Amino acid sequence: MAGSTAVTVAPDILVRGTGAVGLAAALALARQGLRVALLGPLGPASSAAAAPSAVPSAAPSAAPPAADIRAYALNAASVDLLSELKVWEALPAAARTQVHEMRIEGDDGTSVLEFSAWSSALPELAWIVDAAALDAALREAVRFAPHIERIVAPVAASLTLLAEGKDSATRAAFGARLARRPYGHQAIAARLATTRPHAGLARQWFRSPDVLALLPMDQPQRDHGLALVWSVPDERAAQLLALSDEAFEAELMQATAGAAGDLRLAGVRAAWPLSIGQAEPLYGPGWLLLGDAAHVVHPLAGQGLNLGLADVASLARILAEREPWRSPGDARLLARHARARAGDTLAMGTVTDGLLQLFSHPSPWVKELRNRGLGLVNHLPPVKRLLTRAALGR
């Protein structure tokens, strides 16, 4: 891939944004022989052969730390796409961890919903992936990909893809608006070490008004690492971030009742505000929104990046199957993509929003209803299999 400041040949595709979705889109379309211009900072060259090391604990802050401590929950469809792009195999083994079981608990101390890869005849339910390692592998693949050219200023192209995230700086300039509703919650992320092997078990607690997830990771120690994602109201988030490491760990132990072992912070904490949003319109003459620039959902189902990568897979398929006389920016192609993605994105936004509203409602009768619902679904294998297949993205 050239690292030039100006394109040598007019591109077919201009990708604005160098996050995971933008990089995956550039790779997927370049594989079709389309000329891709990539606009945005690519970051320092780094090898994906080694996962980032744990960050020493520091004073907590609501600002993102220098190290990326996020974790992605990827479904089978996302893994398939990354495998096609030759990125999945480039990830270090410790940066991707299989989820074999999932356990979801209500807030009455007894209600449980459990999923098992074994009972669903699947190799795994999902993969938990180190965000920094995946981003590094994508960047590395882009650097060596043919048909992709780095640029520092926008250029004319048949199709411009806006993949700049939920805070896209140029979305409005193209006539699109993201109607976003804040939840008044923050997502607190951290890496943890535990005394109990995670055994590929993902745990989640719906405890009104917060949602706490512990995701299995083989960092910072194989079989004994966890990724924390804790959605809490803004005021509570500020309190938790202000605590010392020891006090924060004590809060975690109380919230999880020790179910995941003795938990210790393996680095800094970070937090960001949560919201739900849908952009309108999703496309226009020669442009299209992808990923968080198009839709934002609550992370309680871990589907944010999966939705973005599904956008990429859909667009790549439609462009690969286009009639020879249609250019990549043809309005009919973009309409096909929008129709293909509308159902999944709407359904995921509705489900995650509905679950959050249901489990944050303070009413005692609502609490009884939701906890009974968890137990009921847990005793309906066909429903559980349907939910599992839907989460796999297939």
- The stretch 50-64 carries a mean pLDDT of 34
Residue 298, φ and ψ in degrees, nearest 5: -70, 140
* Distance, CA of 370 to CA of 376 (rounded, Å): 10
* Distance, CA of 90 to CA of 128 (rounded, Å): 15
Q: Which amino acid is at 56?
A: P
* Distance, CA of 267 to CA of 245 (rounded, Å): 9
Q: Binning pLDDT at 50, 70 and 90, where does residue 391 land?
A: low
Quickly name the fold that domain 13-392 has: FAD/NAD(P)-binding domain (3.50.50)
Model pLDDT, residue 363? 55
Least confident among 64-78, 233-247, 373-387:
373-387
What b/e string do you get for 348-376 counting C-beta neighbours within 10 Å, with b at 16 or more? bbebbbebbeebbeeeeeebeebbeebee
Check: CB of residue 16 under 8 Å from CB of residue 151: no
pLDDT, tens only, 315-363: 999 999 999 999 999 999 999 999 999 888 777 676 666 565 555 555 5
* Residue where the block lists tokens 């479904």: 75
Model pLDDT, residue 55? 32
* Distance, CA of 159 to CA of 35 (rounded, Å): 11
Model pLDDT, residue 219? 83
pLDDT, tens only, 129-145: 999 999 999 999 999 99
Q: Binning pLDDT at 50, 70 and 90, where does residue 379 land?
A: very low
Task: State yes or no: pLDDT of 155 exceeds 50.
Answer: yes
Check: CB of residue 306 under 8 Å from CB of residue 393: yes
pTM over 0.75: yes
* Distance, CA of 227 to CA of 280 (rounded, Å): 33
Both structure tokens of 64: 């993102």
The residue ranges of DSSP E strands in the chain, in sequence order, are 13-16, 36-39, 71-74, 96-99, 101-105, 112-116, 126-130, 148-151, 159-162, 177-194, 201-207, 210-217, 225-233, 263-265, 270-280, 283-284, 287-289, 295-296
Helix/strand/coil percent split, the chain, to 5: 35, 25, 40
Model pLDDT, residue 387? 53
Alpha helices in 211-330 (DSSP H): 234-242, 245-256, 304-320
